[in-house]
Structure 1
Amino acid sequence: MRFLFLGDIVGKAGRRAVQDYLPDLRDELKLDFVVANGENAAHGFGLTESTANDLFDAGVDSITSGNHAWDKIEVIGLMERDDRIIRPANFAEGSPGKGGAVYQTPSGHSILVINIMGRLFMEPLDNPWEALDRLLPPGLPGDYGLDAVLVDFHAEATSEKYTCGHYCDGRASLVVGTHTHVPTGDAQILENGTGYQTDAGMCGDYDSIIGMGKEECLARNTGTIPKPRLSPAEGDGTLCGVFVETDPKTGLASRCESVRVGPRLHRAVPIVD
C-alpha cells in the first residue's frame, strides 16, 4: 500500500498548494490514501466545513488536527457526523469526535489513522502513551487485518516525537510529527519497521514565519507591538509531506521518503514503478 501524509495546511496558501499539486501526486506516486493535518486550514486557525471540503475535493481522504482543533466551533458538529475528520485521541474523555478511525480504500486496502497530541510545552492532556495503546494493534499491522497504520503525533518537542516513534516501532507503518511547521531531514525506517519523520513541515507559504505573515510575527517577537493579530501569509504555497509504501505481509514501512513540491524549498518527489 502507498500513502501520503501532508503536514499542517496553513490558510489559503496551504489549501491552494494542496489543490495545485496533490491531484498530480496521487497519479505520480500511485497513492492509495492521503491524510493531511488540517488544524490550520481555515485562515490559519482551525477547520471549517468549507475548508474541509476544499481538501477532500483536492484528493485528501482523512484530516487530522491538534491543539487548534476547536478554534472554529462548527467543527464540533462536523467531527460528530464525518468520520473522515479526527482529533487527538488523548483529549479528555467525552470530547466530540474520534481519535482514530479505520478506512477502506477503493483499491481494497485498510488503513488505521491515529491522531495523538504531545504534552511537553503543550496543553496538559491525558496520557498519550495510554491512548496509543488503546488504538494501536499490539503487533504487526498485517496480523490484525491492516495494510497500514499511521500516527500523527502533534507535538512541540523533538525528543517527545522521537519517543513516540520508538514507542510505536513495529506496530505502526508511519509515525510523523506535526505542529512545528518546519520539515525535518530525518525521514527513515526505524529498527522494527516503522517509518518516521520528526516533522512533515507545512503546506503553506514559506516566505513567512511558520506560515504567518512576517511583519506581524516580527512585531510580536521583537516586542515593538504587543501581541498583534496574526494572519497567514498568502503567497505561493509549497506542499510538504511524507510518502510511505508498506510491505503487503507485515503492514510496516518498506519506504519512507519526504515530499516537497512548490517554491522556495528543494523539490523532493519519490520515484515509483
Structure 2
Amino acid sequence: MRILFVGDVMGNAGQEVLEEYLPKLKHLYHPQATIVNGENATRGRGINEKVYKRILNCGADVVTMGNHTWDNPAITDFIQSAKKLIRPANFSAGQVPGIGYTTIKINQQKLAVLNLQGRVFMNPSDDPFAVAKEVIAELRKQTNFIFVDFHAETTSEKAAFSWYFDGQVSAVVGTHTHVQTNDARILPQGTAFLTDVGMTGPYDGIIGMKRQNVIARFLNQMPTRFEVAEDSRRNLSACLIDIDDETGRARKIKTIQINADHPFMQ
C-alpha cells in the first residue's frame, strides 16, 4: 500500500498549488490513498465546506485538521456530514462535533486514518497518548494499516508518540510547524516517522504569513495582524510512504518538496 500525505494547506495559495500539483503527484507515484491536512486552508485558519470540497476534488481521500479546527465557524455547518473530514480525536471527548478517525477501503484492505493533537505549547486537549492507545486497539481489530497525523508543536512530543506506538501503527507523521524536517525514517518495529511534513502554500512568507508583519512582532512585541502571504511564490510539502501489504509495517518513507528551489520533475 502506498500513501501520499500532503502537509498543511495554507490559504488560497495552498489551495492553488495543491490543485496544480496533487494530480501530477498522483499520476507520478500512484498512491492508493491520499491524505491532506486542511486546518489552515481558509485564510490560514480553519476550513469551510467549499474549500473542503475543493481539496477532495484535487484528489484527497481524507482531510485532517489540527488546532485551528474551530477558527472558521463555518465548519460547524457541515462537519457532521463530512465523512472524509477528521479533527483531532482527543478534542474534549463527547463535547464537540465531528470524528477523530475514519477508515477507507483500498481493494481488499482497509486503511485507518487517525488525527491527534499534542499538548505541549498547545491549547488544552485530552491526553493524546491515552486516547490513541484506546482508539488504536479498536482499529487494530479491523486493520493493520493505520496512519496517524499528529498535529503538535514540539519535536520531542512527536518523537515520543511515534516510539511509544512503534509497531502498532504504520506511520506517524507530524504537522503544525509548517517546516519540513529532515528525519524521515522507519523505526525498528516498522512505523514510518517524520517529525513534520511541512506546509503547502506561500514559499516566501514566514510559515505562510506575510514577512513584514511577523518581523515587526519580533522587533517591537506589539500586537500584529498575521495575514497569509497570498502573493508569494508557492510551495508544496508532502511525503510518500510504502507499507507492506501483508504486515502493515512501513518499508519506505520519502519526503517531497515542490517550490522554486525544488522544481517538480516528472
State the secondary structure of the residue aligned to 2:160.
helix
TM superposition score normalised by structure 2: 0.94
Q: CA deviation at 1:236?
A: 2.6
CA distance in 2, matches of 1:77, 1:85: 13
Q: 1:20 to 1:268 in 2, by over 3 A?
A: closer
TM superposition score normalised by structure 1: 0.92
Amino acid across the alignment from 1:37: N
Give 1:151-230 correspondences, 5 Å limit.
151-223=148-220, 226-230=222-226
Is residue 120 from structure 1 mapped to residue 117 from structure 2 by the alignment? Answer: no
Match for residue 21 of structure 2? Answer: 21
**Do 2:237 and 2:256's aligned partners in 1 also have CA atoms closer than 8 Å?**
yes
Q: CA deviation at 1:267?
A: 5.3
**Do 2:144 and 2:169's aligned partners in 1 also have CA atoms closer than 8 Å?**
no
Amino acid across the alignment from 1:101: T
Q: CA deviation at 1:182?
A: 0.2
Q: CA deviation at 1:178?
A: 0.5
Q: CA deviation at 1:215?
A: 1.1
State the secondary structure of the residue aligned to 2:188.
coil
Amino acid across the alignment from 1:81: S
Give me the identity figure in percent.
Answer: 38
Q: 1:14 to 1:49 in 2, by over 3 A?
A: same
Q: CA deviation at 1:108?
A: 4.2
Unaligned runs of 5+ in 2: none
Unaligned runs of 5+ in 1: none
**Do 1:110 and 1:146's aligned partners in 2 also have CA atoms closer than 8 Å?**
yes
CA distance in 2, matches of 1:201, 1:156: 12
Alignment: residue pair count: 264
State the secondary structure of the residue aligned to 1:218.
helix
CA distance in 2, matches of 1:134, 1:101: 15
Amino acid across the alignment from 2:205: S
Q: 1:25 to 1:158 in 2, by over 3 A?
A: same
CA distance in 1, matches of 2:5, 2:73: 25
Q: 1:133 to 1:17 in 2, by over 3 A?
A: same
**Do 1:17 and 1:262's aligned partners in 2 also have CA atoms closer than 8 Å?**
no
Amino acid across the alignment from 1:3: I
Amino acid across the alignment from 1:126: D
Q: CA deviation at 1:243?
A: 0.5
**Do 2:174 and 2:194's aligned partners in 1 also have CA atoms closer than 8 Å?**
yes
Q: Alignment RMSD, CA only? A: 1.8
